[in-house]
């Protein structure tokens, strides 16, 4: 199965209540190789735990980054200070997998954020 379909199935199976999810990295940009993993940002409302987890799903290694709007803001600032915007890049450039209404605005704000990182 293609990486986008596997990533979408993973989110539906393990994070069905998420507000949205985004597949980034090489799998999200169509450049996956046999050694690629699935980098997935999963957004929940504020008050939910935020964490990273590594697991296997349908033969793929999955790196899931579970966030809330508040934790996204925290990490964006941390990445901006380090001038290494991994989370921002996944959200800005990735494939929207699931969306209950927050996904497009999250990606739009990530794209604006990435402009600030690239052009301080």
CATH (domain of 105): 3.30.460.10
Q: What is the C-alpha separation between 117 and 78, in angstroms, rounded?
A: 11
> Residue 59 pLDDT more than 90?
yes
Structure tokens at 116: 């600030």
The DSSP string of the chain is --HHHHHHHHHHHH-TT-SEEEEEHHHHTT---TT--EEEEEE--TTS--EEEEEEETTEEEEEEEE-HHHHHHHHHHHHHHT--HHHHHHHHSEEEEESSSHHHHHHHHHHHHHHHH--
Confidence category of residue 66, pLDDT binned at 50, 70, 90: very high
Across the range 88-97, mean pLDDT stands at 94
Q: What is the C-alpha separation between 4 and 6, in angstroms, rounded?
A: 5
Across the range 84-113, mean pLDDT stands at 92
CB-CB contact of 93 with 24 (8 Å): yes
- In this prediction the pTM is 0.92
More confident residue, 82 or 98: 98
Q: Would you say the C-alpha torsion 86, 92, 93, 99 has a positive or negative sign?
A: positive
Range of the domain at 91: 3-118
Confidence category of residue 14, pLDDT binned at 50, 70, 90: very high
- State residue 120's pLDDT score: 67
Across the range 32-39, mean pLDDT stands at 93
User: Domain total for the chain?
Assistant: 1
């Amino acid at each position: 199965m293609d990486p986008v379909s596997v990533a979408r199935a993973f989110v539906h199976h393990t994070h069905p209540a998420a507000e949205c999810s985004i597949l980034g990295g090489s799998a999200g940009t169509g450049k996956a190789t046999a050694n690629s993993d699935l980098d997935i940002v999963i957004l929940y409302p504020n008050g939910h735990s935020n964490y990273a987890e590594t697991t296997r799903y349908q033969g793929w290694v999955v790196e899931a980054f579970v966030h809330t709007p508040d934790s996204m803001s925290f990490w964006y600032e941390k990445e901006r200070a380090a001038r290494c915007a991994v989370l921002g890049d996944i959200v800005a450039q990735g494939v929207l997998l699931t969306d209950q209404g927050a996904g497009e605005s999250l990606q739009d704000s990530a794209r604006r954020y990435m402009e600030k990182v690239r052009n301080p």
